[in-house]
């Protein structure tokens, strides 16, 4: 197993352990995302589209609003409206305006969307195992807890510092 420094041809150690950890997270996420995107692309989806379909499958017949979908995404998408429109165009979802409040649009998964999510369940699990199955359950749990702790200051701070553009939690450090 080679270090990130060796993998990217960096001659000297990182100045900050935080920088090395951040770059390790980014490199790992990029490699994982590439593999999942290949899998999803074979079904006419991207990672965000697959995530939306899983959210809508869990919502059942009630469906979800755009705002609720945006809040539930694992990786926030900047334009959920465009993402849903593309999924609708491709037949994965349907959109319906509320009869009580015409401003509210409910998005529901279609039969094609359900079929796609169902078809991807096995291959997705297999890919998870291929990527992380070499780690023990304890290591996986520790990794998950460490990443949750790393995200916590950013997820609990909603406002941004006007002075430097950093999330408020980072600006306080």
* Digit-coded pLDDT (tens) for 36-80: 999 999 999 999 999 999 999 999 999 999 889 999 998 888 888
Quote the pLDDT of residue 14.
86
164: pLDDT strictly greater than 70: no
Give percent above pLDDT 90 in the chain: 65
The 10 Å Cβ neighbour count of residue 50 is 22
Q: Which two tokens stand for residue 64?
A: 């979800």
Calpha distance 80→52 (Å, rounded)? 9
**CB distance 49 to 92 below 8 Å:** yes
**CB distance 130 to 31 below 8 Å:** no
88: pLDDT strictly greater than 90: yes
Cβ partners under 8 Å of residue 161, min gap 6? 167, 168, 170, 171
Backbone angles phi, psi at 66, to 5 degrees: -55, -45
Average pLDDT over residues 75-102: 89
Confidence band (pLDDT; 50, 70, 90) for 161?
very low
CA distances to 5, 7, 21 from 10, rounded to whole Å, are 5, 8, 15
Question: What is the chain's mean pLDDT, rounded?
Answer: 88
Residue of 120, 121, 26, 17 lying closest to 75 (CA atoms): 26
């Amino acid at each position: 197993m080679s270090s990130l420094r060796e993998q990217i041809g960096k001659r000297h150690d990182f100045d900050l352990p935080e920088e090395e950890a951040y770059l390790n997270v980014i490199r790992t996420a990029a490699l994982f995302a590439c593999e999942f995107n290949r899998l999803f692309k074979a079904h006419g989806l991207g990672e965000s589209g697959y995530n939306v379909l899983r959210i809508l499958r869990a919502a059942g017949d009630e469906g979800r609003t755009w705002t609720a979908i945006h809040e539930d995404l694992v990786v926030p998408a900047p334009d959920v409206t465009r993402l849903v429109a593309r999924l609708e165009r491709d037949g994965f979802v349907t959109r319906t305006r509320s009869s009580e409040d015409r401003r509210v649009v409910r998005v529901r998964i279609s039969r094609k969307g359900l079929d796609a999510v169902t078809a991807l369940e096995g291959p997705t699990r297999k890919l998870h195992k291929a990527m992380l199955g070499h780690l023990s359950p304890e290591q996986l749990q520790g990794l998950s807890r460490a990443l949750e702790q790393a995200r916590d200051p950013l997820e609990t701070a909603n406002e941004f510092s006007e002075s430097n553009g950093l999330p408020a939690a980072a600006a306080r450090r």
